[in-house]
Chain A
Amino acid sequence: MSVLAGLRVLVVEDEYLLARQLERALQRDGADVVAVAPSVAAALAALAAGALPDVAVLDLNLAGEKAYPVAAALRAAAVPFAFASGYDAADRDPPFADAPHLNKPLTMATLRTCLARLTGRTPG
């Protein structure tokens, strides 16, 4: 049984191929990808429409717009999240400087460890 089994995950990633790949990798790990959103608006709409996820993975740069509004909404709802981006962690805005940061391209191993830690699950 994977450590991510049954975990409800929101994926925010503008690049379709990456979003699709991430979705499938998470699904293979037993996670439940509740929504995949390409933009801030789509992510906020997904949060408003459905039940809250347990955790979220946010691409920092969504076709030029930053994912901070989504991060703020998640923080307000006490949903833990990690940023994923091709930028250095140092480039992040101060309010979110302490959020976990995953370097792109993502590897499933680091993602799994990160999401498990964020949701208090023990990697097994």
Chain B
Amino acid sequence: MHVPDPPVPAVTTLGDFDWASTPLGAPDRWSPALRAAVAESLAGAAPAHPPAPSAAAALDALFDAAPLGLGIWDRELRFVRVNASLAQMNGLPPEAHIGFTPRELLPDIAGIDALMGRWRAIIDTGEPWLDVEVHGGTPANSDKQRSWREHFFPIRNGDQVVGIGAVVEETTERDRVEAALRASEARFREFAEASSDVLWLFDIDSARFAYLSPALRKLYGIGVASGRGAPLSFDWQTAIIAEDRELAATTLRRVRQGERVTHDFRARIPGSGKVRWLKNTAFPLRAPDGRVSHIGGIAQDVTEERDAAARLQMLIGELQHRTRNLMGVIQAVAESTLEASTDLTDFERAFSARLDALSRVQQLLSRIEGLERVGFDQLLRSELAAFGALPDDDSRVSLAGPRGVPLRSGGIQTLALALHELITNSVKYGALSQPGATLSVRWALLPVAAGERARLRFDWEERGVAMPARGDSPERVGQGRELIERAVPYQLEATVDYALTADGVRCAMVLPVSQTLVRGAAA
């Protein structure tokens, strides 16, 4: 497309200058525009560019187009001029402001009367009033609470203050966002501070904690300043025990590379010196540029949890041990019972009775907890009860002794089997088989010298028994006696004195007992 050159004043002269010797070359080869410009310049005529706006026009344009609200009042605080932004905030056309005071136009601004007074003071004193937070509603939407940051300054003419200029910035949205942020932060803080876990935030650049929740105080017994800006210099590396420090450092390195890591470590509590197990979950927090700027973490005291798990593991181990041991014992009892049995019916009867005795002692053992022990009287009564031979059921029987003498856990089974044999033999051949006989069972703790173990003495005494010429299964009786006279001394470090007198069986045992108390003991 051809665009015609603009009209060019005729060039009559281009001065005395030898243009041909310059890079521009001779003027007749110039473009018309250049010739015109040079000619104008040489002639001192008006420049080719458009005229600059007057200062007043520029200010008018700025005033009208500014994104800030701008207003001017006269000495009576009547609007003289309002820009479009302010008019919009106020919900009135600009021209509707002119001649009215803010009090008349904006009655819903909070404390408008006090503001009027304060503005009059600007007129009187000539002092500006800056950074003023103003709240309230305007005719734009009178039911909505809005807020502004405003600056007021005097407008002077010579020495006299002729009016007030106002600069108004709406802050409603920013205040709302900030308030929401503050509320959210406050809520987070309440969560964090109510938590029994230690919540922490570590600033990588400053190598300091930006936040540490108060649970740290409970855990470590030390306070931390949790306010904003307070330096949080908690020396976590020293708190972690030496063996676990490398793991903790490795974890932090991994988190810095963007990984989320959970691990358990041990910390020594200052003061008490106790070691606690902490489960710590650490995760990276990224700055807007994507780099990991903070590490967030939640540390939980899992000492009790781990202790409970370890206890449970130990109990399972004990149970396993006890079960396998019991299997072996049952096997051995079956084997030896079989050896002394005349036929399978005989075996069945004797084996069942011994198995029952083992079951009863298992029942007693399963009822106690932790470090508790089975009391001697409990074991004795449980065996007697199985034969209906408690004093309440059988007037031939008398018992005398303290309750709750704690038996050591090793050997209870063997002691139960031995008591079982004493009772079985008594029921078959002894006092409990004859109307006129009596059975007296007495027991007592022996006096203990310093450094000695507690010992129990136990006396089994049958009287008035017409002793049989011989038992009908001497091998069985022999096995019973082996349990009483050999197994009990072997396994319980007991001394046993067993005698078949003309009057009946006498058996005295002295056996070490536990130092631990039995639940409900009234010894």
Residues in chain A within 8 A of chain B (CB atoms): 14-21, 36, 38-39, 61-64, 85-88, 91, 103-106
* Selected contact of A18 from candidates B321, B329, B493, CB within 8 Å: B329
- Bound-complex Cα distance A106 to B513 (A): 30
Let me know if B487 and A105 touch, CB within 8 A. Answer: no
**Which residues of A sit under 8 angstroms from B225, Cβ to Cβ?**
none
Q: Which secondary structure characterizes the binding site on chain B?
A: helix
Let me know if B414 and A21 touch, CB within 8 A. Answer: no
Given the contacts A14-B491, A85-B321, A87-B317, A63 and B331 also touching, CB distance less than 8 Å: no
Q: In angstroms, how far is the closest chain A Cβ from the Cβ of B167? A: 80
Q: Is B327 on the interface with A (CB-CB < 8 A)?
A: yes
| B184-224 CB contacts (< 8 Å) to partner A | none
Given the contacts A16-B490, A19-B490, A87-B320, A63 and B327 also touching, CB distance less than 8 Å: no
* Selected contact of B328 from candidates A36, A87, A104, CB within 8 Å: A104
Chain B residues bordering chain A, tally (CB within 8 A): 28
Q: In angstroms, how far is the closest chain B Cβ from the Cβ of A35? A: 12
Let me know if A17 and B321 touch, CB within 8 A. Answer: no
Given the contacts A17-B329, A18-B329, A63-B408, A86 and B323 also touching, CB distance less than 8 Å: yes
Q: Is B332 on the interface with A (CB-CB < 8 A)?
A: yes
* Selected contact of B324 from candidates A16, A91, A104, CB within 8 Å: A104
| B329-365 CB contacts (< 8 Å) to partner A | 329, 331-333, 335-336
Let me know if A105 and B409 touch, CB within 8 A. Answer: no
**Which residues of A sit under 8 angstroms from B317, Cβ to Cβ?**
87-88, 91
- Bound-complex Cα distance A74 to B1 (A): 114
- Bound-complex Cα distance A39 to B491 (A): 9
Most buried by B among A16, A91, A106: A16
Given the contacts A86-B321, A104-B325, A20 and B332 also touching, CB distance less than 8 Å: yes
Given contacts A64-B410, A87-B321, 19 further A-B contacts (CB under 8 A): A14-B411, A15-B328, A15-B413, A16-B414, A17-B328, A17-B333, A17-B336, A17-B487, A18-B328, A36-B490, A38-B493, A63-B410, A63-B411, A63-B491, A64-B409, A85-B324, A86-B321, A104-B325, A106-B328
